[in-house]
Every structure is written in structure tokens, then in C-alpha cells.
Structure 1
Amino acid sequence: HHLAEALFKGAGRAFRQALSPADELQSTKGTLA
């Protein structure tokens, strides 16, 4: 369960960065917060 969740979050983060690199910092802050 934890592995799947980690992979899902990682994929989502990578997809978000690829989709809008300008919002990379905001996305990272949102994930950590």
C-alpha cells in the first residue's frame, strides 16, 4: 500500500512538473505541506 502510494505521488509530481515546469516549486511546497 505504501509503495503504491509513493509511486502514485511520484508519478503525479513528475507529471505535474512536465506539464507546468514553472509551477515546480509550488507543487513541491503543496506536496510537503
Structure 2
Amino acid sequence: MNGSLYDSFYESTVVEATVSVQRARRVCLVCEKL
């Protein structure tokens, strides 16, 4: 597999995971306030 292609795929996966975690965390904070 191409190294640069793998790196870009890995970075995009990490970014998506981080965004989803932050979104879930934000939802949890909203639920706690209710």
C-alpha cells in the first residue's frame, strides 16, 4: 500500500473519531443539564 495514501487515510479516520467523540461528549453535557 502507498505510504502517503495510508497516512492520509489514517489521519482522516483519527479526525472523524475525534469529532464523533467530541460530539458525543457535547450531547452528554446537554443531557446532564436537562
TM-score (normalised: structure 2) = 0.59
Query: TM-score, length-normalised on structure 1?
Result: 0.60
Q: Which has the higher contact order (CA 8 A, sep 6+)?
A: 1
Q: How well do the aligned residues superpose, as a CA RMSD in angstroms?
A: 1.2
Unaligned runs of 5+ in 2: 27-34
| Counterpart position of 1:17 | 19
Counting aligned pairs with the same residue, the percent is 5
Q: Which runs of 5+ in 1 are unaligned?
A: 23-33
Larger radius of gyration: 2
